Every structure is written in C-alpha cells, then in structure tokens.
Structure 1
Amino acid sequence: MTEKSHDPDTLAFYDAEAEAYAARGDRTDASDPLRAFLARLAPGAHVLDLGSGDGRHSAAMIEAGFEVTPLDGSAGLAAIASRRLGKQVRIMRFEEIEDSAAFDAIWAHASLLHMPRDAVPGILARLHRALKPGGRLFASFKAGGSEGRDTLGRYYNYPSKEDLASWFAASAAWSGVEIEESKGGGYDRKPTDWLILQAVRPPSP
C-alpha cells in the first residue's frame, strides 16, 4: 500500500455502525490524557481533532475554551459529531490533508492506528506540515508488533515502540518525541495495551 490508501472495510464499519458506536462510545477513558495534553497548550489554542468520531473529545476541548476543528473520514460519524457540536465536521481521509501551519496542536486519539503501516510516515509528514512551528501532536495506538484485524474486522497497524519511533524518524523533523505505555480497552471491550505518543514540530529558528 502507498500513502494514498486507507482500509475501506474499516471505514465502512464506522459508517455502518456510527449510531451504535456513538451510543456505546469508545470505553477507553481518554479524559486524563486529554486534560494533560491541553495543559501543555496555550489558552485558546487551535486544535485539530483528527478522527473526531462522535465529537465527544471536540466537545470537551471547546468547553475548555479551545478552538477546535473536528475531522473524520467517516461520513456517518461526522454527521453525529456535527449534531453534537452544532458545527460542521470536515469529512476527509487523513491522506488528503493539505493544511499548512494551520494548527497549534493535533489530537489523534485512536485514529492513526487504522492507517496502513507503510502509509503512516507520509501521513505524519502531512500532520507535521499542518502544525504551526512549535505545535504539538498527540497520537494513541494499540500496541502489538504486526498488523492485523480485530474481531469486528477493523484493520490496526499494531505498532511496537520501535515501529513508532522509526515511523516518526522517517516522516519529518520532530522534536520532543515521547512514547509511553498504558493499559486500557476499546470498543470491542477487550483488554488492550496502548502506546501514547507526543511530539512537537520544532519552532522556527
């Protein structure tokens, strides 16, 4: 696969199951990581919610006083988030992002994990370009070591810490790369090992 790719079965799952997915929600509790992430940003910073899903994280960020641009590849989930937020959600696949120096931060909770492995560095390069100098990226991945599908048929790239580090090194000049491990779950209600990554587009000289 190339950067100009995504997994159509995974996208079809979220379109078909959008209402049920939003009703149950991703049971991974991201409230603490989100608060910690926002605490590292300037008040009122402009955040791209990449893979905004049903819009619950966008809503929390807006309530906290941040400017938020929600974006999702699933038209079904974007419609639900638009109703929740009272604003239009951008419907776009991640490999189509063309923004340049537009955002102070990017929140990519449980979204980049669905991208084909060999597409990830190119998408990270796009996100690097979309950030303003000094902008911060948060991304979470289900850990593993080799790609595969879950019991619901969704594709996951399942990286190791070494995989993540190599993808970022191959994508762009990031600084302050931090990779942490955590325990949690997901929509399939199975215990899950997570990798939490933060990185910064270096400030201009």
Structure 2
Amino acid sequence: MAYYDCEAQSFFATTVDVDMSSLYKRFLRELVGGAAILDAGCGSGRDARAFRERGYAVTAMEPCPPLAALAEAHCGLSVEILRFQDIDWVGRFDGIWACASLLHVPLAELPDVLQRLAHALRPGGILYVSFKLGRGERENGGRRFTDLDEAALGELLRLVPALTVAEIWTTADRRPDREDERWLNALLRYSHSP
C-alpha cells in the first residue's frame, strides 16, 4: 500500500494505455451483454472503463486511495476504496476481473480472499485472475508479490473447492520493455453448492 500511495501517478501513467483487448476477449465471451462485473483492484481504471464502454454494469474497487482517485477520473465511475480481505458481497456479480491485483495478497491469505470473491459471484459466474509466473513470495522495489505457476494455483484451489479452472494460459507482459516477464492467467468458474 505504501508503494502505491507514493507511486500512484507513475503507476497510472505506465499502465493506463496498455492494450488488454486479447485478455478482455477471453473473459467477456463468458458473459452476456450488460452483465455485472467487479473490477477488483482496478488500478488505473483502464479495464473498468473498457468494460463500461462495452455496455457492462461495472463496479470498481481499489484499496489505495490516491490510485482510486485517479481511476475514478479516468473511468468515470465511483471507485470503492476496499481491500480484498474486506469484500463481503454475496451473489452480486456475473464476472470478476482481478488483473494483476491478487498478486499483492500474501499466499496465506489467498484462500480466504478467493472464497470471498467466489461468494461475490452468482452461480456459474467467472473470475479472471493473473499472477506473475513463478512460485513463492518475494519483495521487489518496495512491493510484495505472490508468484504462482499452474501447479501452485492448483494447490491453492484445492482449498477453495467452490472455484474450478475453466481455462489457464500464460502470456508475455503487455508493457513496453517488459515482454520478457511472463504471466499466469486463469478463468475460474464459481460452482455454487447449496
């Protein structure tokens, strides 16, 4: 949080114009037009704006107040200042977009956070997540990261049986000069059991 409080403007500038359309395509094909989407950890507001412009009902949340203010100005939506660990929505969204945001949650807290996100989905809803490809927790440049590979994600999901993998793939970073960085992407389906 301290990193983003201080670096909100530079983070906004380096991420707001990144073309994410290929990832949007995979996520949005799982949803009907006008579906309710949560942009969880919306950062610059880039993705919330893209979904809103495509006609979806978007809710955006971001734990860092300075970044939330920049996101609001960019996406034209009110951005809730909220940590993943405090999410308590139930059955509100058809899709949740958690792009490069859950990677800042400590590994020990991820099962609870994923369970909270699952409960925020309607039955059959879809959750998109992305993590830097790797394994373990680390600090880099004042930020902490939880890196996952496919096996580590599988281990994590065994603790959250309500979520099952619909699709999993890897991509290169979309930012200039960072193409060597690899990302683990997954679409997770919420299988509600009464």
Shared fold per TM-score greater than 0.5: yes
Instruction: Kindly state the Cα deviation for residue 188 of structure 1 after the two structures are TM-superposed.
Output: 8.5
CA contact (8 A) 2:169 2:186 kept: yes
Letter in 2 for 1:108: A
Greater length-normalized contact order (CA 8 Å, ≥ 6 residues apart): 1
> Alignment length, in residue pairs?
194
User: What is the alpha-carbon distance in structure 2 between the residues aligned to residue 22 and residue 187 of structure 1?
Assistant: 15
User: Are positions 1:201 and 2:190 aligned together?
Assistant: yes
Q: Is the 8 A contact 1:27 1:187 kept in 2?
A: no
Q: What's 2:32 paired with?
A: 42
Q: Distance in 1 between matches of 2:59 and 2:176?
A: 24
Q: How does 1:15-30 map to 2 (within 5 A)?
A: 15-25=5-15, 29-30=19-20
Structure-2 residue corresponding to 1:66: 56
Secondary structure in 2 matching 1:17: helix
Distance 2:118 2:175 in 1: 27
Among 178, 181, 187, which residue is 1:192 paired with? 181
Deviates more, 1:167-176 or 1:73-82: 167-176
**1:146 aligned onto 2:131:** no
8 Å CA contact retained: 1:55, 1:82: yes
| CA displacement at 1:184 relative to structure 2 | 1.9
Whether the 8 Å contact between 2:16 and 2:44 is mirrored in structure 1 is: no
1:178 and 2:164 aligned: no
Choose the corresponding residue for 1:124, options 114, 117, 124.
Answer: 114
Tell me by how many angstroms 1:138 deviates.
Answer: 0.3
Instruction: Label 1:185 to 1:38 Cα distance change in 2 as closer, same or farther (>3 A).
Output: closer
Q: Which has the higher strand share?
A: 2
CA RMSD of aligned residues (A): 2.0
Task: Report SS of the residue matched to 1:198.
Answer: strand
**1:95-110 correspondence runs (5 A):** 95-110=85-100
TM-score by length of 1: 0.87
Equivalent residue in structure 2 for 1:162, among 125, 147, 151? 151
- Aligned equivalents of 1:54 and 1:92: distance in 2? 15
Q: Deviating runs (4+, > 6 A) in structure 1?
A: none
TM-score normalized by the length of structure 2: 0.92
Distance 1:126 1:32 in 2: 27
The structural deviation recorded for 1:35 is 2.2
Answer whether contact 1:134 1:200 (CA < 8 A) is retained. yes
**Aligned-pair CA distance for 1:17:** 0.8
